[in-house]
Chains A and B, each alone.
Chain A
Amino acid sequence: MEIDREDGRTPNQLRPLACSRNILHRPHGSASWSQGDTKVLAAVYGPKAGTKKNENAEKACFEVIWKPKTGQIGKVEKEYEMIMKRTIQSICVLTVNPNTTTSVIIQVVHDDGSLLPCAINAACAALVDAGIPMKHLAVAICCCLADNGYLVLDPNKLEEKKMTAFAYLVFPNTTLSVLPEGSSVAEGEPVEHGIITSVTHGVMSVDDYFLCVENGRAATASLSAFFRKNFQQSQKDSSKAG
């Protein structure tokens, strides 16, 4: 029994992705990421000297500034800032530039559902554009649960409102390596199956949550492939120009 989505997508189908990097000149790195109609602009400044108070001076520090499309900054934005800061801290190599602060500014251009995952993907692309050293990328996806128990990926705003529960999941990107399988395994599972960040809204059963995680993992493969293709494309372009 299939669930009918208004835009005709299958439950596991993502919206069309678009990413462009190096679109702003002043920031050291910038990217715009859109999933369907949800569009987010990310800019990275840094590393700058000095860390903030209460931060560890032996490591690099990150600060995230979230600017909504309209309205004042409230608790929602503060929560997004904290989630993004901790996610970025876990994917970046903090020991390379100790005692520095890197600022990531997120500007919401349009919100049509799945906003936080879109912002995390945009921030990753902007960090790559700025050349900040990272261990791996953070690939973010939104899975939601309808009342008849069906799982849907990458909902738009109307779908998000109708769903009983949704989960924002962030995974490391899938690796494409020449090393034999089994070399990048932790606890019996490939490294890319670990969850970096998970934020859920609404009540769901524990089994449904595991199902969301499974589907999310499967979707990261296509998102990682998109990231890879996008970065390789711009590399080829810049090598042609240079």
Chain B
Amino acid sequence: MSLEETEPPSQTLDNVLGWFDDSISLTPLPGFTDSDLLNEFDWSQTWEWDHQTQAQDPGCDFLHSYSQDLDAYIGCEATNLEVVTGVPVIDSDPPPVVQLPNDQTKKRNRDELNDPHVVKRSARSKKKADKSTEVSRKDSNKAERWAEQLLNPCALAITARNSSRVQHYICVLSELASSCGDSNHRLASFGLCALKKHISTSFVPSSTLTFASAEVKMFQKTLLKFYEVSPWFALPNNMANSAILQILSQETRDKTDLHILDIGVSHGMQWPTLLEALCCRPEGPPLQVRITVVSDLTADIPFSVGPPSYNYASQLIGFARSLNINLQISVIDKSQLIDTSPHETFIVCAQFRLYQLKNSITDERSEALKALRSLNPKGVVLCEYNGEGSSSVDFAADFSRKLDYLWKFLDSTSYGFKEENSEERNLMEGEATKVLMSSGDTNEGKEIWYEKMRKAGFSAEAFGEDAIDGAKSLLRKYDNNWEIKMEDEDTFAGLLWKGEEVSFCSLWK
């Protein structure tokens, strides 16, 4: 049975477009064909700047006029002013009037002494991980992450109550922070905000862009755009869908229905592709497809809460109807009971939300997993962030992990948006920044999750070849700093950015 998971994103987006058409009219998305894609992502363009403006040397002009003043003053002739001023420092700095459409400040900051080949590009190799290159890549990654080199010591100084140090870092960060600069400048800005908030509860940040505060159309536009430029969610969604289809394919004939428990952050974006794929099965879609969405409006997890009036259910159902799929959607609160029926294949899709349950004494996370187990799902897709986790109450260590996560988001998003300072980008980043203030422990790490799953009675299941191929093929459409790494006999799919783990997908039974 062939699963058509390798559909190009353009079809996916057309689907979604179609789905949206009822309610909103979107501006046409840029041409997005398969083969053109790789060519489109030609990064060399974005890294050049205007060399012409370096012709004049302000230093010489000044001295020239000074020497003229001196003539008058001293009354002697200053003939051969062989002033070879090493017009100093970053000579290739174009004056701020660089006429490029994109944000100039970023260009200026990307100067590297006439060297158009910015050092960090050399780190961008598509080499598959060799341990030593991994380590050195991480080092060179770390070297380019200067914002954290100020933010982390500041956090440490705060915990050490070293006020002169704190003040120093805050002063420096304030000078460098910029909400429209490159990823480092943005991280500096967000991080500084978070630190100030930590220091003083009365501090109110100027404006916080979040999903919840966004206008519905903007929100939809943003999600669409984001899926187009970054696999951050697109890939986990893709793998989850593949997994669902994989599980379904192993089911017996008497299971006519599909019931998905959606504990995720896709806001409906995940399902059109799945519905299409269900349609394309030789035996057609299940008789009934149910999606139970677990909603938690109080959560402070980034990406989990959309605008209050955002309701995609009816659109999704309409779309399904156009495919002749009988779709039902229900939204429940996290504490409500979930009902299952014997005719249905019940699959849990938990993406990026379980971690919010704190590892407190009562161990809510384990409890939740046990509760899921008791529902006897046919399969559980678990996608989570993957970092060096260890729950600690140390503010500085915790903050450092969160910065690490946020950096990966900002950096990869910056590449995705080709450094455009668009509204969509700002909304995504604003929402991501919530992680800095959130109480949850973001990066628990794969090992701990695996242990918890096993403890709850689940066992790991391998992704099929189609799922893996589909994921890899999807990833090729995005920046080549993204990588997918299969481990543990294909039960673990890790998503990496610049060689560092971002998130993982896993399948359980």
A and B: bona fide binding partners: no
**Residues of A near any B CB (own CB < 8 A):** none
